[in-house]
Structure 1
Amino acid sequence: MNSLQFTTESSSNGVIEREFTVGDVPGVLWSPASGADRAPLVLMGHGGGNHKKHPAMAGRARLLVTLCGFHVAVIDAPAHGDRPVTAHDEEEVENLFRARAAGEPEGPIVVRYNDHLAKLAVPEWRATLDALQALTEIGTDGPVGYFGINMGTAIGLPLVAVEPRITAAVFGQHWPDTLAEKAKHITIPIEYDMQWDDEHISREDSLALFDAFASKEKSLHANTGRHKELPRFEADSAVRFFARHLGGAATPPARTDV
């Protein structure tokens, strides 16, 4: 098993930020500067074209750390952030840009490429979870959640489908093509975000993926707006969701500044 190696550490406003590697996979762990010896862990998946320390990741992580006292970890997906890019990656990105410029549907390309990335990333996430749980402040007996939208769903949903240590998840904004069958194996509590006016993912596709989850407890959050207009208050909702299901913290008040 690959061990976790911390490479940098900084602290601000009650949050410790530590970059790490597990094998050749880089990641970042946000933790409370003080608090309980053990705390729940939330794994977060970033969106396509972004990276582990994208402002959306850092902002959501700080909410979970400061309002709930959780640990939050993000790793760079294959071909993202500090990861190497292959010729196949470059070709798929070129295909996407070409379709976008021509006004053609992006979905088939994104679905195909994200499925490829998920096959690589799921084993990396499981190895990272092993390494994180070896840390004294996290341990193997604490609850684990997953939070990922867009490509974070494309990678996270297959991960959650095979990873019994994850007991609650927030997903959203992806096509059902390669994910619906995997969603049928997921029974943990789910919160799912969709944009009602999404120009890329139809309402029917969003509802089909939500419907595929076998979870007895699942909530659909449908907001008006286009694909990139997911309201910031959905991050607050996700914090309250994880506070309910991972325990160890009171339900936080609503926040709209992240």
Structure 2
Amino acid sequence: MEPVIGIGAWDVPVHGLFVGLGVLAAAVVFVAEARRRGAPAEQSLVAVTGALVGGAIGMRLSGWAEHLDPDLNPTLLEAWMFGSRSVLGGLTGAYVGVLVAKRLIGYRERTGDLFAPAVALGMAVGRIGCHLTEAPGRPTDLPWGVHAPAATPACPGCLAGQAMHPSFLYEVAFQLAAFAALWWLRGRITRPGELFTLYVAGYAVFRFLVEFTRANETVWLDLTRPQWFLLPGLLLVALRLRYGYRRGFYDALVPKKEVRT
């Protein structure tokens, strides 16, 4: 049974609470950035509404297509009622919600750069809920290994009392560092869309590496499903970064060397 926290007269699921707080934190940062960049207030409000609606839908339906075999997946109704409440699904839904809202009101400016720091902070908050309710990671002898309650779902190591990698805390630390870096870079990387590109690239690399400490099932060559999903994406990201570097998009970070003739 998922842990709950008492808020007034209600028992609120811990995981769902932090996922909701993560989506809310992302929305607040998005609004702040939209105002800083001079986006009209009405359009920003519509975009945030789209983010909140899309985030709620994505959060609830994130487990609908978890397995390649359709028979193993829940129905849409089951996913809506009993879904995994994934923070990544919530933030993905929020991003799609913004795109839909923009299309409805005819707003054509790019918003990916507004979303980059917003998603980083939202993920940091949401992963706290994952750490408190899910299997932490693979067994480890490192001094910062953590123990989780034996009742934690899908966690044999918890039942055996093993110390495990605090993989979700690794991600919290990464996302907070990414948020700080993106907040610092937002006035230095001026090419539209590149701040979002840098975040996606950084997170893709981090997520591939942190999977070696996660409790996810390995499916082939000791790699998990997310790692196999990320492999082609990492290649595309590398090509995209090379394209941006050669055109000077990141000179504020890594100035290109002049070639003398």
Q: TM-score, normalised by structure 1?
A: 0.32
> Which structure shows the higher strand fraction?
1
Q: TM-score, normalised by structure 2?
A: 0.32
The structure having more radius of gyration, on CA atoms, is 2
